[in-house]
């Protein structure tokens, strides 16, 4: 896999490995949840969208009961 070296970002609630993946058409951020092994790729447009999210919408994404720890998620 073509990627820039991994950095780990963590606190008492979560720990993720972050790198830049270059295997796609353009560079994208590769984020791996170190607890579950789940991986997500974010391109420049998705990252820019996060920057412009109103604070209230970002806070709703951070609610772990909304999706992250539900047993009935896909």
Residue 58 Cα distances to 26, 29, 32, 48, angstroms: 26, 19, 19, 13
- Whether 66 is covered by a domain: the verdict is no
Of the pLDDT bands very low, low, confident and very high (cuts 50, 70, 90), residue 3 is: low
Of the pLDDT bands very low, low, confident and very high (cuts 50, 70, 90), residue 70 is: low
> What does pLDDT average to over the chain?
85
Q: Which two tokens stand for residue 36?
A: 């579950």
Domain total in the chain: 1
Q: What average pLDDT does the segment 24-44 reach?
A: 93
The answer, yes or no, to whether residue 72 has pLDDT greater than 60, is no
Under a CB-based contact definition with an 8 Å cutoff, are residues 21 and 44 in contact? no
CA distance 16 to 21: 15
pLDDT at 61: 79
Residue 49 domain boundaries: 7-61
- Whether 1 is covered by a domain: the verdict is no
């Amino acid at each position: 896999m073509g990627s820039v070296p991994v950095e780990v970002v963590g606190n008492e609630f979560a720990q993720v490995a972050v790198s830049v993946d270059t295997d796609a058409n353009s560079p994208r951020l590769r984020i791996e949840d170190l607890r579950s092994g789940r991986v997500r790729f974010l391109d420049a447009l998705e990252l820019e969208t996060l920057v412009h999210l109103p604070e209230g919408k970002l806070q709703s994404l951070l609610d772990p009961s909304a999706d992250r720890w539900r047993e009935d998620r896909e």
